[in-house]
Structure 1
């Protein structure tokens, strides 16, 4: 596949001499970030291994660690070339409209393969090219016994855990706190083929190796002075290629979507919601009235999802699906279609996805993919490509392959359930789960968490009638904090219309985002996130764990002038365990020099909408 590039490449001549030691000829090269604050040093040792160390802000964070691929041949370090890139990536959609793409790079030519190393201002990455080797020698030998958190499937994250206490294989994203102002994240980018990244700890030490086989990918170490800087980074995406030359993704429309799965069984004003046409029409009407982008139809619309006889083109409620797609087009609302892996593999996938595109569907939610991690990655790539060819956005659920920056190459890959989704699988989603996963899972890319429930008790719901473990204000706040190209909200129109200020906050989330910034936060404690909508308005949201807290939020993200602020916070008697819906709304005028003070209940949150006031014309 050929890729177009907008990179402006400046090749800088750098003197890279071989360093001669008293005992033997030894090669050593150092590459720094453009701002000179990060440094990677690579050398060939007297033991004929390639090793590196990583330094940030004058502190060694990863000490001598092996690089390279397993080979029976002797390593010969032939030459080193260097270059620098300074450019700007303008994504179709993402956390911001302009992304600096600046790095220094070296390529070390060895006898059988190359080691390519890039150092950005927010991290470093390396990959091996030119040799097919089943085993890599990569190590991450951390300089001290730091605390770490890890992805843990559709459950609460592992951590905080001391590095030397890790006993079993850990899955990325791995986030490390080295000091109060020093954080790292270990992940991968652009996994072309092979096994997705795993991290094997050497128990009792701070050393982790990579047991993944045949992987063609970037190994990435991100760096930030706060956990929010990791969350805000684009490093993972930037290590992926841009779309194919001539590819058109202008049809990708990120934004808020309504959903039929959690509404099943809800009752309001004498109407009982089901996953069928009349209920779908009500959801389309809600989306249309609030300028939301789409309706997501979940499982069983074409028959029982795990039944091999369920035909994803002819079965079940297919005629109703045709009707709701047409109804959605009248209302300027797209419709997503669910496809289970059983239907995806027992019927011709190319035909199915082409037909969904021809029907006029907006996207595909793909569920319960089976296979080894390597097989799932290959199938995920195929589905994403086929969806792009048919102008379909795609969302992968149920233990998907972790994100590794695909949204740059394939902007239709708008989200995936790389997290424990809200109220999912009848497991308790604790407040601390949210404020951990946004600093761990979300570092990898967009995630689908299904926040935004306004019926806090969920009585009568078919799938999961459990109370929601947060406050209603936190539910609205989480929809903004979670980065996703499809912010899928799970409740019925009557419940949203019951709380007009909170609904206003959700409908104001107009993507693509122009800017995003994590204002403050601590892993597992709380987060404050700001995003600027495409219409120029700013939204700020805060969420906390099981502890209530007061926060002072600076408004330095704002531009010049005066803004009208709508501030929604938990009521004085609010608590996620006992009084979930108590909240209050305040309006005031603010500027970028101001602060907003909010009080968050246990399990609570706050929502702030900032609209620029227009200057009145004096006569």
Structure 2
């Protein structure tokens, strides 16, 4: 991965300032490259530092404290402003070329340094050279805006008026500040310390109670909620891979999974988490040019037992056979590893063994410890997986994503959400329509969408109906950004819906481009992505209310495309008729506008392939 600097200019102003020149030094103002965002810093005679944030000429945050908690009054020494214009060419991401353009302000004090960056789609700041356990950071919003928050394996909190917030909230904090003004509060590049927490202090003010958090504090900004989804600002704040690193072996894509298939019976065959079923899954995946099979818990013994050896226990012989079988078919096999086995047995030796077996990745589950300890262990597991050419997916209350995929491209996804089939008591269509604008802003998610058996009868783990139409399920696989789209059903049900299977199989990564075409938080989302093969795919999914949406195709390249359009049937409804759908084929171009009706809990899928020139 190479970083190309198109230009770099530095403007240095100010040297040492004493009390007599204090008034002349403040305020300090810096703007985004496009001049639409502005950040202003002020310092009062007591040494308290504040910032104001404006976007499109309107106040978003005002008189918000900034700085680490230190003893004594800081003395301002100097300021420095530089302009950076460069490009990130990721191994995989939402797009193949990511502009990295910002203005950076450095404020140097005798006790610490504040570094701030303004991009066209947000701001970020961090503290350097500070010996402090806590920080004074606040977010003092300029109005009683509506907000949504991450809520573990539950439906997200919100919409909630800022003045009604009580106690702690967890990021991502997504905010609607106006019809064309949206923000999201999160963090990036958490090197050490506690992951970000937010606490309502008083009306419209949130503080940061996290200890020793060495990270960028980030406020994303967009004119639509989709702008928050599409940005890579959080990743850009993370360091590039170490010099000499080679991640060309990282291959993102669709994967099948053995956990949800367990107990399904079709044509006299009962699916289990064992070699005969694994081979059927590998055959299906290979036939449809998917990337991997993910093996879940208990393959090396009961996952919570301290006696279960992740290198020698349980079905290890079968596992080695399926890895070899997958290799013959051009497929990688992922292995589950519980935190018990990961800590009871030597982790470095375990992951080295998996690499030597030829495994393709690790799904790491149920990590224990404090949030700070979990973050450090996540970093360790990610690094060791990279050294052994293993992708990694963290589940069961993981540390939130904060842009690691830039430094470690093998960190392809994590369950920072309510995985769809884990708790129907909370996952409903509105859960999905909210999480994509909250959880997914943090980074790639493993939500396990894509079920085709809408009843799930006989499944061992959770045999409840799926909260969607079958077309919405296919659409959700595209909408959710992930370096490993892990689908949960058996081959026979995917083959039952050939158009939906074609749509899922066409999701060839890495993506060349991604664009949220429209959407409203908690209502619906319309996503377009351009595949590695050059085809465009569009997915739409809504909440419990039926609606008609317009789909402009202006993201397409010049020329004509053959469109396969998969829609909910007229009688489709996620509560009463999940399987009803219709298909249509037509020739379209970038001027075409489609009109599609989404059923309650429904969706739409569009596969656009360039017309063949005769």
Normalised to the residue count of structure 2, the TM-score between the two structures is 0.98
RMSD between aligned residues: 1.5
- Residues 219-264 of structure 1 show CA distances to partners (whole Å, capped at 9, x for unaligned) of 0000000000000000000000000001000000100000000000
- For the structure 1 residues 148 and 426, does the alpha-carbon distance in structure 2 shift closer, same or farther, using more than 3 Å as the test? closer
What's 2:172 paired with?
A: 173
What's 2:403 paired with?
A: 405
Unaligned runs of 5+ in 2: none
What's 2:268 paired with?
A: 270
Q: How does 1:340-419 map to 2 (within 5 A)?
A: 340-419=338-417
For the residue of structure 2 that corresponds to 1:375, the secondary structure is helix
Could you tell me how far 1:15 is from its partner in structure 2? 5.0
What's 2:81 paired with?
A: 82
Question: Structure 1 CA distance, aligned partners of 2:494 and 2:459?
Answer: 16
What's 1:572 paired with?
A: 570
Q: How does 1:64-143 map to 2 (within 5 A)?
A: 64-143=63-142
Could you tell me how far 1:614 is from its partner in structure 2? 2.0
What's 1:483 paired with?
A: 481
For the residue of structure 2 that corresponds to 1:13, the secondary structure is strand
For the residue of structure 2 that corresponds to 1:170, the secondary structure is strand
Q: How does 1:141-152 map to 2 (within 5 A)?
A: 141-152=140-151
Q: 1:509 aligns with which of 500, 507, 510?
A: 507
- For the structure 1 residues 23 and 237, does the alpha-carbon distance in structure 2 shift closer, same or farther, using more than 3 Å as the test? closer
Could you tell me how far 1:356 is from its partner in structure 2? 0.3
- Say whether the 8 Å CA contact 1:426–1:464 is kept in structure 2: no
Q: Please say if 1:164 is aligned against 2:137.
A: no
What's 2:234 paired with?
A: 236
Normalised to the residue count of structure 1, the TM-score between the two structures is 0.97
For the residue of structure 1 that corresponds to 2:420, the secondary structure is coil
What's 2:59 paired with?
A: 60
- For the structure 1 residues 84 and 412, does the alpha-carbon distance in structure 2 shift closer, same or farther, using more than 3 Å as the test? same
What's 1:212 paired with?
A: 210
Q: Please say if 1:424 is aligned against 2:426.
A: no
Question: Structure 2 CA distance, aligned partners of 1:479 and 1:23?
Answer: 56
Question: Structure 1 CA distance, aligned partners of 2:7 and 2:305?
Answer: 53
Q: How does 1:193-592 map to 2 (within 5 A)?
A: 193-203=192-202, 205-425=203-423, 427-592=425-590
Question: Structure 2 CA distance, aligned partners of 1:21 and 1:582?
Answer: 76
- Say whether the 8 Å CA contact 2:253–2:507 is kept in structure 1: yes
Unaligned runs of 5+ in 1: none
What's 1:51 paired with?
A: 50
- For the structure 1 residues 449 and 43, does the alpha-carbon distance in structure 2 shift closer, same or farther, using more than 3 Å as the test? same
What's 2:38 paired with?
A: 39
- For the structure 1 residues 59 and 270, does the alpha-carbon distance in structure 2 shift closer, same or farther, using more than 3 Å as the test? same
- Say whether the 8 Å CA contact 1:69–1:137 is kept in structure 2: yes
Question: Structure 2 CA distance, aligned partners of 1:286 and 1:426?
Answer: 28
Q: How many residues align?
A: 613
Could you tell me how far 1:537 is from its partner in structure 2? 0.3
- Residues 548-587 of structure 1 show CA distances to partners (whole Å, capped at 9, x for unaligned) of 0011100000010000000000000000000000000000
For the residue of structure 1 that corresponds to 2:10, the secondary structure is coil
Could you tell me how far 1:12 is from its partner in structure 2? 3.0
Question: Structure 1 CA distance, aligned partners of 2:200 and 2:571?
Answer: 46
